[in-house]
Amino acid sequence: MVKADFLKKRAEGFLRGARYHLREGDYNIAAFHLEQACQLYLKYCLFMKIADFPKTHSIQDLLSDIGKVYEKEKEVVKFQKENIQLISDLEQAYITSRYFPVEFSKVQVQNMEKFVKNLFEFLRRL
């Protein structure tokens, strides 16, 4: 699945980029890259199951779709509840890191990075 491989590679690339920008102190760019890594990896997982993915940017919506498609709604809802603040921060990063004078802190972005790693592991276990 060429399209799916592209999504996975791009997600991993954004994660590497986020780590670079985090080390360099570019926290807003790192946050944006982490959001992109989440979004693309979720779309990769959906594409692997249904050969398509929704054209949305919402991590929450994509996670909900994962729960339905993989028939793991209870596990996904639990994961969402446990990580609601980080998911919200990442969704905000999609817009605010580029267009608004909002600054993410180093600690916020480090927590986002941990969440992304946890998300990838969670999705691999489904």
Is residue 2 scored above 80 in pLDDT?
A: no
CA distances from 56 to 44, 50, 61, 66, 111 (A): 13, 16, 8, 13, 24
70 pLDDT above the threshold of 70: yes
66 confidence band (pLDDT: 50, 70, 90): very high
**Quick one: which of 77, 42, 73, 70 has its CA closest to 56?**
42
Question: May I ask the CATH class of domain 2-125?
Answer: mainly alpha
Residue 1, pLDDT > 60, answer no
Task: Supply the pLDDT for residue 102.
Answer: 83
